[in-house]
């Protein structure tokens, strides 16, 4: 069972975490939701499209201008508070690796701390425990936040993913985070080349078999672009293909830019595997 904010999701649930960037330089939307009002419009739009979670980020993952903790807090805290006021039942996640930011956003209503940099700040899990928040434990291969991997190598990339993510999940539970509020993420592109990201995708059942709910962040990433030799703006179909593969293998939470399309893919996977019925079934029956 996965418990996020006031909501409970069974093992067959397929949940969308929509990306909302409060950054002027995000790799995908190029700052389209940096302005406060534009970001609020984005939240309303993704909720209407079927997202159960919004993931708010104040610092882009890639290298770029320095953003200190104070600026990250400025970009996220008031916005989280505004989203909580407008959408009382929405699950709010914040993408941060800093415990100072985690504390500030939890104080105004964040439900999830999405630690995309693999426990770089070990105090972040302590904050999650203090506020009864959920946490995402991500594999980043030990690289520093906001750096790109350079000639990174693993004896067995999935073995490293399992060791690090399960270790982080177990530590979070020991600190007092409710185990039903802990997710693990293979960290596509983070601390990985394209071969690594493709391998963890086809071996995702090994993460699912740990028993921890699995979150994947696939949307428009470089491994999709390199696999198909396509630029950023042409990666949607590749992203949706990877989404279907991960859903079929048992991933539960999908961090996405394109919510409506992702919702259709997940609903189709659910229909094929028989966990939800067709919304309309009249063919050959009348």
Q: Residue 224's pLDDT is what?
A: 98
Q: Residue 286's pLDDT is what?
A: 74
Q: Residue 28's pLDDT is what?
A: 81
Q: Residue 113's pLDDT is what?
A: 98
Q: From CA 79, how far away is CA 105, in angstroms rounded?
A: 9
Mean pLDDT of 140-159: 95
Q: Residue 29: pLDDT above 90?
A: no
Total-model pTM: 0.97
Contact 185, 139 (CB under 8 A): yes
Torsion of CA 144, 215, 178, 43, to 10 degrees: 90
Q: Residue 222: pLDDT above 80?
A: yes
Long-range contacts (CB closer than 8 Å, 24 or more residues apart) made by 121-128: 121/97, 122/171, 123/99, 124/96, 124/97, 124/98, 124/99, 125/168, 125/171, 125/172, 125/175, 125/177, 126/99, 126/175, 127/99, 127/102, 127/103, 128/102, 128/172, 128/175, 128/177, 128/181
Q: Residue 30's pLDDT is what?
A: 81
Q: What is the CATH number of domain 2-273?
A: 3.20.20.20
Quick: pLDDT tens for 76-105: 999 999 999 999 999 999 999 999 999 999
Quick: pLDDT tens for 203-218: 999 999 999 999 999 9
Classify burial at 127, counting beta carbons within 10 Å of its beta carbon; exposed 0-12, middle 13-18, buried 19 or more: buried
Q: Residue 127: pLDDT above 90?
A: yes
Coil vs helix vs strand at 86:
helix
Torsion of CA 241, 153, 19, 111, to 10 degrees: 120
Q: Residue 142's pLDDT is what?
A: 94
Domain boundaries defined on the chain: 2-273
Q: How confident is the model at residue 233 (pLDDT cuts 50, 70, 90)?
A: very high
């Amino acid at each position: 069972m996965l418990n996020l904010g006031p909501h409970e999701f069974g093992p067959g649930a397929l949940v969308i975490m929509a990306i909302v960037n409060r950054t002027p330089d995000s790799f995908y939307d190029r700052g389209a939701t940096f302005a406060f009002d534009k970001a609020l419009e984005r939240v309303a739009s993704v909720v209407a499209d079927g997202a159960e979670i919004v993931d708010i980020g104040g610092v882009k993952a890639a290298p770029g201008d320095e953003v200190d903790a104070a600026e990250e807090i400025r970009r996220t805290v008031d916005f989280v508070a505004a989203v909580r006021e407008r959408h009382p039942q929405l699950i709010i996640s914040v993408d941060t690796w800093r415990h100072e930011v985690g504390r500030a956003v939890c104080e105004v209503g964040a439900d999830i701390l999405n630690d995309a940099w693999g426990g770089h700040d070990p105090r972040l899990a302590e904050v999650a425990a203090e506020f009864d928040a959920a946490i995402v434990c991500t594999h980043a291969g030990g690289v520093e936040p906001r750096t790109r991997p350079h000639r990174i190598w693993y004896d067995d990339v999935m073995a490293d993913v399992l060791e690090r993510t399960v270790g982080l999940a177990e530590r979070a539970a020991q600190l007092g985070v409710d185990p039903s509020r802990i997710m693990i993420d293979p960290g596509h592109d983070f601390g990985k080349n394209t071969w690594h990201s493709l391998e963890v995708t086809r071996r995702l059942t090994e993460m699912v078999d740990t028993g921890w709910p699995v979150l994947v962040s696939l949307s428009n990433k470089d491994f999709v672009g390199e696999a198909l030799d396509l630029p950023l703006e042409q990666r949607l179909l590749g992203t949706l293909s990877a989404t279907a593969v991960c859903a079929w293998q048992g991933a539960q939470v999908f961090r996405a830019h394109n919510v409506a399309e992702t919702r259709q893919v997940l609903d189709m996977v659910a229909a094929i595997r028989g966990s939800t019925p067709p919304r309309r079934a009249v063919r050959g029956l009348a």
